[in-house]
Structure 1
Amino acid sequence: MTIHKLSVIIPAYNEAETIHNILNKIKSVKLINNIEKEILIVNDCSTDKTKNAISSYISVNPDLPISYFEHEINQGKGAALHTGIQMATGDVLVIQDADLEYNPEEYNDLLKPIIDGFADVVYGSRFMGSKPHRILFFWHTIGNKFLTFLSNMFTNLNLTDMETCYKMFRSDIIKSIKLKEKRFGFEPEVTAKISKIKHIRIYEVGISYYGRTYYEGKKIGWKDGFRAIWCIFKYRFNF
């Protein structure tokens, strides 16, 4: 597949401390085949200085193609992604959290199966390969693997990391899907819905993971885990 532009969608909520760093990392990435980048930041009604941090970054980086969108009320990560997906103009899009847990240098690893004509969707797995992986929470890891296992049971996929942030899609495919989940239920919902697309080609590549603690700003919690279980059932049986 010939790719001219990659859209990087960043949902942001109270990320004033890290948004400059992640934007610098994205800026420094040189994509294979001279693919262009566009960055779409969706500020989900942050209560800190995220908006000011983004504005100041844009003012000193006028040549970086950044589009900024803002929700007037906090709606959740999924809702921010819906906005970004709708507004993206690239041939392919990737989801990028505003923190520093994932490394934009690995965009090329995700792009390669699509460029080579093998994949329509690529997930970046934190649980395969030999790249760096920060050691953090045992039960959080067990929870992620359980949700992936449960999702696989109902989608008949063999993913190793359904809950990963790094999901890359051909834009025409993801834009054709009607997405509903406004919080972290986005992950099982989108996985269930792409699994139902006839002849879809889904790949995984190993990625590094520089996880953060709740003290450092991690937001997902046990309630989101129960919501994910509900979404796995809901979008499998369409109720």
Structure 2
Amino acid sequence: MRLSIVMPVYNERATLETIVHQVRSVDLTIVTAGTNGYLPGPITLEREIIIVDDGSTDGTREILQGWQAAGERDLKIIFHERNLGKGMALRTGFQHATGDIILVQDADLEYDPRDYVHLLQPLLEGRSPVVYGSRFLGGPRAAMSLSHTLGNKALTLLTNLLFGTALSDMETCYKCFRRDVIEGMPLRSRTFEIEPELTAKILKRGYTIFEVPIRYNGRSFHEGKKIGWRDGFTAVKTLLKYRFID
């Protein structure tokens, strides 16, 4: 089996090499229990890392061009000529993914690739075709700002009310799913509203989302965090749109 790790990148020169090293260092031999007709034992996944540079201007692009020229075999690098937004970068990455399983990874070191084993295990055991890594289930994490905590919890509550679920973290970056879950799914978001759009359409297709606790080391705005309060209002509109209209 192959795991496609889709990484949208925009002006992440300071963290890019570290996150790629971390992703490459993860042991993708997952020991599974026998559940739902699946046999117990170790499963080793092949790895492909798909990096989509979304019009970076800080030197990120030059690092990626160097890797591309060196012919790094496990890297698939795609360039947007200008900044189109995280949603567009993920959509491009999904189009180029060839794996049986797709996992989303940000490049800013907020999320720890050592959690891949926790994300992949329930999926490989057949517990659910979709697994989210939750920052609110007791995993070790840096203190999140009050505004981000309240914003995340409010958007997750709205998701639960609209779709009848009991999620703890809808806005998490760590979304992991079988390829067929989003195959043929029309994604339209260009920026950060891709998170609620993906969740809404996964739930409307009848899939159950399995959550696992993950580590989280959040950044502040002065450290380069890009999502802001305005994106919260966009997320609300997106959830309502894909619940009742689209």
TM tier, smaller: over 0.9
Residues 94 and 167 of structure 1 are in contact (CA less than 8 Å); yes or no, is this contact kept in structure 2? yes
2:32: which partner in 1? none
**Superposed counterparts of 1:10-49, under 5 Å:** 10-32=7-29, 33-49=43-59
1:54, CA displacement in angstroms? 2.0
Q: Deviations over 1:159-193 (max 9, x none)?
A: 00000000001111112211111111011111111
1:19, CA displacement in angstroms? 0.5
1:84: which partner in 2? 93
Query: For structure 2, which runs of at least 5 residues remain unmatched after alignment?
Result: 30-42
Residues 103 and 176 of structure 2 are in contact (CA less than 8 Å); yes or no, is this contact kept in structure 1? yes
Say yes or no: does 1:138 pair with 2:146: yes
Say yes or no: does 1:104 pair with 2:113: yes
Does the residue aligned with 2:149 lie in a helix, a strand or coil? helix
Does the residue aligned with 1:215 lie in a helix, a strand or coil? helix
Distance (whole Å) between structure 1 residues aligned to residue 171 and residue 73 of structure 2 = 30
Identical-residue share of aligned pairs (%): 48
Residues 152 and 158 of structure 1 are in contact (CA less than 8 Å); yes or no, is this contact kept in structure 2? yes
Say yes or no: does 1:68 pair with 2:77: yes
**Superposed counterparts of 1:116-127, under 5 Å:** 116-127=125-136
Query: For structure 1, which runs of at least 5 residues remain unmatched after alignment?
Result: none
1:197, CA displacement in angstroms? 1.2
Residues 95 and 168 of structure 1 are in contact (CA less than 8 Å); yes or no, is this contact kept in structure 2? yes
2:40: which partner in 1? none
1:167: which partner in 2? 175
Q: Deviations over 1:22-72 (max 9, x none)?
A: 000001011122211100000111111111122334566x55410010111
CA RMSD of aligned residues (A): 1.3
1:201, CA displacement in angstroms? 2.9
1:95: which partner in 2? 104
Which of the numbers 218, 223, 228 marks the counterpart of 2:225?
218
Q: Deviations over 1:197-222 (max 9, x none)?
A: 13x23200000101111111100001
Q: Report how many aligned residue pairs link the two structures.
A: 233
Distance (whole Å) between structure 1 residues aligned to residue 233 and residue 225 of structure 2 = 17
Distance (whole Å) between structure 2 residues aligned to residue 30 and residue 23 of structure 1 = 14
Does the residue aligned with 2:212 lie in a helix, a strand or coil? strand
Q: 1:134/1:59 Cα in 2 relative to 1: closer, same or farther (>3 Å)?
A: farther
Distance (whole Å) between structure 2 residues aligned to residue 110 and residue 63 of structure 1 = 26
Which of the numbers 114, 126, 130 marks the counterpart of 2:123?
114
Residues 135 and 141 of structure 2 are in contact (CA less than 8 Å); yes or no, is this contact kept in structure 1? yes
1:6: which partner in 2? 3
Distance (whole Å) between structure 2 residues aligned to residue 58 and residue 116 of structure 1 = 35
Distance (whole Å) between structure 2 residues aligned to residue 73 and residue 57 of structure 1 = 20
Residues 27 and 64 of structure 1 are in contact (CA less than 8 Å); yes or no, is this contact kept in structure 2? no
Q: 1:100/1:64 Cα in 2 relative to 1: closer, same or farther (>3 Å)?
A: farther
TM-score, normalised relative to structure 2: 0.91
